[in-house]
Chain A
Amino acid sequence: MFRRSFNRFCAGEEKRVGTRTVFVGNHPVSETEAYIAQKFCDNRIISSKYTLWNFLPKNLFEQFRRIANFYFLIIFLIQVTVDTPTSPITSGLPLFFVITVTAIKQGYEDWLRHRADNEVNKSTVYIIENAKRVKKESEKIKTHYAVRDTIELRTVESIDNLRAAIECEQPQSDLYKFVGRINIYSNSLEAVARSLGPENLLLKGATLKNTKKIYGVAVYTGMETKMALNYQGKSQKRSAVEKSINAFLIVYLFILLTKAAICTTLKYVWQSTPYNDEPWYNQKTQKERETWKVLKMFTDFLSFMVLFNFIIPVSMYVTVEMQKFLGSFFISWDNDFYDEEINEGALVNTSDLNEELGQVDYVFTDKTGTLTENSMEFIECCIDGHKYKGVAQETDGLSQTDGPLPYLDRADKNREELFLRALCLCHTVEVKPNDTVDGVRESSELTYMSSSPDEIALVKGAKKYGFTFVGVQNGYMRVENQRKEIEEYELLHTLNFDSVRRRMSVIVKTQSGDILLFCKGADSAVFPRVQNHEIDLIKVHVEHNAMEGYRTLCIAFKEIAPDDYERVNRQLIEAKMALQDREEKMEKVFDEIETDMHLIGATAVEDKLQDQAAETIEALHAAGLKVWVLTGDKMETAKSTCYACRLFQTNTELLELTTKTIEESERKEDRLHELLTEYRKKLLREFPKSTRSLKKAWTEHQEYGLIIDGSTLSLILNSSQDSGSNNYRSIFLQICMKCTAVLCCRMAPLQKAQIVRMVKNLKGSPITLSIGDGANDVSMILESHVGIGIKGKEGRQASRNSDYAVPKFKHLKKLLLAHGHLYYVRIAHLVQYFFYKNLCFILPQFLYQFFCGFSQQPLYDAAYLTMYNICFTSLPILAYSLLEQHINIDTLTSDPRLYMKISGNAMLQLGPFLYWTFLAAFEGTVFFFGTYFLFQTTSLDENGKVYGNWTFGTIIFTILVFTVTLKLALDTRFWTWINHLVIWGSLAFYVFFSFFWGGIIWPFLKQQRMYFIFAQMLSSVSIWLTIILLIFVSLSPEMLRIVLRSVRRRSTRNPNLELPMLLSYKHIDSGYR
C-alpha cells in the first residue's frame, strides 16, 4: 500500500496551453493575489464504453453497423412491407436473437470493465486537509504530486504549512519527460525555485518500494495522468476472419442481387407475351392490375431477394458468436495454462479474437517480466582467468568460509579477495535491515535494495564467497570478510553509472589508508582502460558468458597515490559544483580517472529467463513468426536477453540503428540515411525480391537481426517534413520486414504502440500480437490485433486490458500453435461451410424459378426454409467448430511449421472460397437436375400415382440435408461422441420432423402443403434410389479429393525432411570452444 498526500487545489489561468500552476495544499501563495479556482478534471479513470443510459442506442448503432445485421434488418423490413413468399418471422426472429445475444455479451463485457475501473477508482488514499489525514476514495482526488528539496517536511503538519506553487507543463503522454518548477515560499516572502524533472514525478499506478509512505502533490489527475494518456481508446477489435466473412458476404450479396435481377428481368421478358403474363387459369387480382408497373418490378425484385436471402445465413452469425463464446472456454479451462504460483489459469477477456491467434505474423513482446522473470541471479565469475562457478554453496550459507569453492583452479588468494571486495564495494546498493533487527546482526537476513537488480545479484554473489556487504555507516562502507571480520572503507567518491560510459566506479580509502578505485562496467567500456595482457585471460570468459546470454561485467581496480588523489578529488568536486556543462565536465574527469586500471575479473549475472522462454521463441520462429522485442531497457541488457532467449542466434548478423552508431557522425540524419541504405542494400542482396519465400528460405540465408532504440526510431518516424522522411520510413520498413528478429530498446509505451501500428499498416496488413505484463505495455496491447497480458508481478493492468491473459510467456506457444491453429481451422471451415451449405440450399430454388415462370414460387416448404439453418444443419457444424482437431494438439505444439500452413488467412483465400463455391454450385445443380430428370418419368410409383411440386422440393431438400451433413462428416477428423450424436442426431431429427410435420393437419396453417408428402415420398423405390445416387454423386468430388490427398501425403513422405535447422540453444554450449 502506498499513501500519498494529495492536495486538491489549484489555480491558474490557461486551460490547455502553456503551463499549469498547482498550489500546494490549497493555500494561496500570497494574500495579495486573488485566488482563482481552476478546474482540473477529477481522478476518475474510464476505460468502459457504455453507460447505463447510452447502452441501448449506442450498442444497437454499433451492431447495425455490421454489414450482416444491417442487411438482415433490410430484409426483415422488406418482408414486413412487401408481399413476399416467406413470412417476416423467418428472418425477424433470428435477427432479434442475434442482436440480443450480442448485446448481452457486450453488455456483460462492459460491465466487467466498469467493475475494474471502480476497483481502481475506489481505492483508498489519504489527503491532507487542514493538517489532518483524511481517507478518500481515489476518484475524488483532484491532481497529483511531486516532492523535492523538502526533506525536512516529514509530518502532516509541516506539509500543511508548506506554501508552494508548482508550475508544470500541460499533460503530455511522454512518460520520461516532465518539466516543472516548484516555488517554495518559506517564511521570507522570497520564493525559492527548484526545478522538477521526471525523476520527481510519480506516475499513476507506481508502487513504492523503499519507503512506506510519501507525501506528494497531485499534478495531473484522472484521464490527464500520463498513464491514462498512454492508454489508447478502446476500439472494437475485429479479426481477419471477420473481415473475410464480410468480404464473402459482399460476394454473396452480389450473387444474391444478380440472381434477383436476373429473375426479375427474365420474369418481365417472359411476361411480355400476354398468355404468359396472365393465362386464363391464373388471372390477376384487381389490385395487381392497378399497380404501377415500375413499382411492381421493384417489389418483384425485392421479393426475389427475400426468396433467395437465405444464401446469406443469419444463423451463421449466431453460430459464429456461439462458437467463439463457447470455444474461448477451452483456453481458460486449459490445465497447461495453469500456474501454481499464482493459482490461476489463462483468462479470456474477449472471445472475438480466438481465430486471430492462429494468424499471427508478428509477435511484439515486452522483455522484463515477460521474457524474463525480472530477477537476477549471480551465475559465475572469473578471477584472473580462473573460473568460479557460484552455485554449490547455498546449503550452509555463510558459515562455510573455508569450504571448497567450486572453482576449476584457484587464483591467487589476494586477487580473489580483492575481487570479492570490489564486488562488495563497487555499487550503489542500500541495505535495509530487517525490522526485527537489534543487536545481533544476522547478515543473511539483510535485504539489499537498488534500482538495478544486477547490483543486488552481484552483492549477493559476493556473499556466497564469504564477503558480505553490511551497509554504509557515516560514509564508511562495511564489509564482512571471509573471516567474519568487519572491514570498513571510507567512501570517497562514487562515479555514477551512465549509459555512455557504461561503467561505474567508486573510490574508497581502506583502513590502512590506501586509496583504491574499483570500477565495473561492460567489457567494451573497461577493456580499453586496462593492461592488454590482462585482457586475454578474461576475454574468453566474458565472451563465452555473453554467448550464454548472461549479463557480464568486468571488474577492474587501480591504486591511487595520495598525491594523485588530491588532484582527482579537487577535479571531481569542481566538476560537481559546476553549473554549466556539468555533465561534460564530469565525464571528462571520470574519463581521466578511470585509466590504467588493472583487470581483476569478470562476473556473469543471469536475468533469469522465464521458464522455456527460449524454446517458445524458437518455436515461434520455426512457425514463421517474426518476434520483436520492445523494451524500455537499455540496449546491452536487452541484447543479452535476446541472445539468451535465442531471439538472436550466434550466426545472426546484427544491424544496429542506435544512438551509439548514429551519434558518431555530426549530422544524425545523414548518418541514419547512410546506414539505412547500407542495410537495405545488404538485405536486398541476400533476399532478392522474393518476400514470399522468406519464410520458406529460413535456413538457407544468413539471418539478420535489427536493433533500434527509441530516439533513433523517433528520428525515423518523426524526422521533419522534408522529402526524406517518408523515404526513411519505407526503407526502415523494408529492413524490418527482412529481419527475422528485431529488438527495440528504450521505448516509451506510446512508441511501442507506434511500432505496432506501423507494422500493422504494412503492405498485406500482417496480424500483430503483443504480449506484455506491465502498465507500460497496455498501449501496445491495445494497439495490436491481439493483445496478450502476462499475469505478472507488475499489477493487473496489462492482463485487464488484454484480450487474453496467461500466467507465463511459455504459454504463448500452446496458445498460438495449438489453440490458435485449431480455432482458425475451425472457424474458417465453419464460415466456408456455412456459405457452401446455403448456396447448395438456394441454388435449386433459383433454378426452379426458370420452371415456374419466375413467379417466386418457393421450392421448399416454409418450415424447411426456416428450419434448415436453425435445426437441421446447425448443430453438426457447431460441434465440429468446437471440437475438431484435424491434427493432434501434441503434434501441433511439437511441429511449429504446421502453423505456417494456415498463415495469411490461407483457408479463407480466394482459392478455397472458389472451391467451396463451385462445390456448392455443383451439388445444387446435381440435386436439382437429378430430381428434375427423375420427374420426367410417367410415374414414380408402381401404382401410377403422381407427385406434385412439394414432393419435388422435399426430395431435393432431403438430398440436400443428407449431403451437407455427410460432407461435414467427411471433413471431420476427430470423432467424439458429441460429433456422432449431433451428426446422426440431426439426420434422424430431420426424418422425424418431416414425418411429424407431414403427419398432422395443422390447424394453424392455411395450406396443408406438406401433408404426408414425406411418407408418400419414401414409399417410392425410385425416389429412394435417386436420393442415394444423388447423395453419392454430390459427395464424390469430395471423396475423391480426400483419397487423392492421402495418396499425395503418402507419396511426399520424404525421409530427408526435417525441422528447419534452428540451433537449439542446448547444443550451443558444446558447439562453442
Chain B
Amino acid sequence: MKQQQLPAFRLQLSANEILSGFFAIGLFCLGMGIILLLSAKSIREVEINYTEKCATCAKLREDATNFDKECNCSISFYLPQKMEGNVYLYYKLYGFYQNLYRYILSRSNIQLVGTDVKDVRNCAPFKTSDNGLPIAPCGAIANSMFNDTIVLLYNFNSSTHIRVPMVRTETAWWTDKYVKFQNPTFQNLSSAFAGTAKPPNWPKPVYELDEKDPGNNGFVNDDFIVWMRTAAFPNFKKLYRRLHRIGNFTEGLPAGSYSFIINYNFPVGRFQGQKAVVLSTLTWSGGSSLFLALAYLVTGAVTLLASFSMMAVHLKLKERKTFFLQ
C-alpha cells in the first residue's frame, strides 16, 4: 500500500477475448431484438381519439359553468381481429402536463395515507374550499382527476349490444393501494371525511368514487391512485379498466363491431389537449415495444459489424507481424 505496490490485476485482454466478447454481445442483442420484435408483433392495440368525435361535448366543456350538465358520446369502431388474452383499457391524454413542478408538489401525502384528513399544507392552490373547509383529497393533482366514464359495448349484431365486462380494480400498484394510500380509519367512510370539502372540480366527494365496492372507495380507489401517480410526459396513458374474461370474452375480445359510450366530463379543449381510449393486449415484456426491439436489433447488428471489421484488422495485422519476423 505505502509503496503503491498492492497486488493488482492489470486487465490485459487478448484479441481473441475481445473479439469473442464482442461477438457474444452482438449475437445476444440480435437474438433479443428478434424475440422482442416477435412479441411486439403479437400485440394488438387499438387507439381511438375521441376529442374530435365528441365535438359537441367538447364544446360544452369549454365553458366551465356547464359543469353540471351531462354529456354522453358514442363512438363505434370495428375490430378486424380478435384480441386474445388479457385486454387492458387505457385512457390517453395529449398535452396534459402532469409533470409541472408546482402541480406535482400540490398534494398531501399525510392526508392520503389517512393519518390526518385535514392536513392540506402543501396543497396550494387547492387547500380549502370557498367556505374554508379543507379539501380532501386536496391539491391540484387530485382536483384535476380524469373523470370521464368509458363503457365498452360489444355490438353482437345490429340490435344486441353487450356491455363488455370490465374490472376496475388492480389497476394501481399494490404498494400504493395498500400502503401509500389509506382511508382514515372510521366505521363509515363518509363520516371519516366529515369536515372536509370535495375538490372544486369533482362532481361528488371522494367517498362516493365507488359506492359499490368499499375496498375501492375513498383514497384507495384505483382510478384515483392511478391518477395520483403523475405521468412523466404530457402525452400519457393511464390504465382504466381490465377485461373481465367471462362469457363471450373468456378468450379476450372477439373480432367485431364495438362502441365506446363516453360520459364526457374532462375538459381538454381548454388547454388544446386531446383524449383517446386505447385497447391493448400485453405480453411478457409489456406493451408493444417496437422501440426496444429495434434498438436491440440495431445494436446487435452494429456490434457484429464492428466485430467483423475488428477481426479483419486483427488478422491483417497478424499477417504483417509475421512478415516483420521474416
- A residues lining the B interface (CB < 8 Å): 85, 275-276, 279-286, 329-330, 333-335, 822, 851-853, 855-858, 883, 885, 889, 930, 932-953, 972-978, 1001, 1005-1008, 1011-1012, 1015-1016, 1020-1022, 1025-1026, 1029, 1032-1033, 1036, 1040, 1043, 1046-1047, 1050-1051, 1055
Contact = CB atoms under 8 A, between A and B. Distances in A.
6 contacts: A275-B270, A939-B282, A940-B289, A945-B171, A948-B229, A1001-B180
A1025 B286 CA distance: 12
A280 B306 CA distance: 53
A1040 B286 contact: no
Contacts of B143: 281
Contact of A855 (B100, B124, B231, B313): B100
Interface string B111-149: 001000000011011100000000000001001100000
A767 to B, nearest CB: 23
Nearest to B170: A943
A851 B284 CA distance: 29
Contacts of A280: 64, 144, 201, 267, 270-271
Contact of A279 (B172, B180, B270): B270
Contacts of B284: 942, 1021
Identify which of A281, A853, A937 gathers the most chain B CB atoms within 10 Å of its CB.
A281
Contact of A975 (B4, B8, B233): B8
B109 interface: yes
A777 B185 CA distance: 83
Contacts of A945: 171-173, 239
B257 interface: no
A286 B128 CA distance: 13
A1043 B11 CA distance: 13
Contact of B285 (A335, A946, A1021): A1021
Contacts of B6: 883, 976-978
Given A285-B125, A944-B86, A1007-B105, A1026 B292 contact: yes
Given A281-B103, A944-B287, 13 more contacts: A280-B267, A282-B102, A282-B106, A852-B97, A857-B101, A938-B286, A943-B282, A949-B99, A949-B104, A1001-B179, A1015-B175, A1025-B292, A1029-B296
Identify which of B4, B100, B289, B320 gathers the most chain A CB atoms within 10 Å of its CB.
B4
B271 A1025 contact: no
Interface in B131-188: 140, 143-144, 170-173, 175-176, 179-180
A236 to B, nearest CB: 28
Contacts of A1016: 173, 175
Nearest to A332: B2
B99 A857 contact: yes
B124 A285 contact: yes
A900 to B, nearest CB: 22
Contact of B101 (A856, A885, A952): A856
* Interface residue range, chain B: 35 or more
A275 B271 contact: yes
B97 A853 contact: yes
A944 B171 contact: yes
A1021 B36 CA distance: 11
A977 B1 CA distance: 11
A333 B3 contact: yes
B4 to A, nearest CB: 6
A940 B280 CA distance: 12
B275 interface: no
A1012 B179 CA distance: 10
A276 B270 CA distance: 10
A883 B6 CA distance: 9
A975 B7 CA distance: 8
B104 A335 contact: no
Interface string B41-69: 00001000000000000000000100000
B77 interface: no
Q: Which 8 pairs show the lowest CB-CB distances between chains A and B?
A: A938-B287, A281-B144, A952-B232, A333-B2, A949-B232, A855-B101, A944-B88, A852-B99
Contact of B104 (A275, A857, A1025, A1040): A857
Contacts of B71: none
Nearest to B88: A944
B286 A937 contact: yes
A1025 B324 contact: no
A1026 B86 CA distance: 24
B317 A1012 contact: no
A275 B236 CA distance: 19
B271 A940 contact: no
Contact of B232 (A947, A1029, A1036): A947
Contacts of B229: 946-948
Given A276-B271, A938-B45, A944-B242, A1011 B280 contact: no
A883 B8 CA distance: 10
A951 B173 CA distance: 12
A304 B288 CA distance: 36
A1029 B8 contact: no
A975 to B, nearest CB: 4
A822 B5 CA distance: 13
A853 B101 CA distance: 9
B96 interface: yes
A942 B238 contact: no
A94 B58 CA distance: 53
B230 interface: yes
A948 B232 contact: yes
A942 B285 CA distance: 6
A524 to B, nearest CB: 50
Given A335-B3, A1008-B109, A1047-B313, A283 B286 contact: no
A973 B179 CA distance: 47
B32 interface: yes
B283 interface: yes
B18 interface: yes
Given A281-B144, A855-B102, A939-B282, A1047 B175 contact: no
A856 B102 CA distance: 9
A276 B234 CA distance: 12
A600 B191 CA distance: 126
A976 B7 contact: yes
A944 B97 contact: no
B237 interface: yes
A939 B287 contact: yes
Contacts of A85: 101
A1007 B109 contact: yes
Contacts of A972: 11
Nearest to B172: A945
Interface in B306-326: 306, 310, 313-314, 317, 320, 324
Contact of A1043 (B3, B98, B310): B310
Nearest to B36: A1025
Contacts of A1040: 306
A1047 B317 contact: yes
B196 to A, nearest CB: 19
Interface in B219-273: 226, 229-234, 236-239, 242, 267, 270-272
A1022 B88 contact: no
B27 interface: no
B278 interface: yes
Interface string B1-30: 011111111110000001000000100010
Given A286-B125, A974-B10, A937 B287 contact: yes
B78 interface: no
A858 B104 CA distance: 10
B32 to A, nearest CB: 7
Contact of B291 (A281, A937, A946): A937
A977 B6 CA distance: 8
Contact of B292 (A934, A949, A952): A934
Given A940-B286, A1021-B284, A1032-B299, A284 B125 contact: yes
Given A281-B103, A930-B295, A945-B239, A974 B271 contact: no
B32 A935 contact: no
A951 B176 CA distance: 14
Contact of A851 (B107, B171, B234): B234
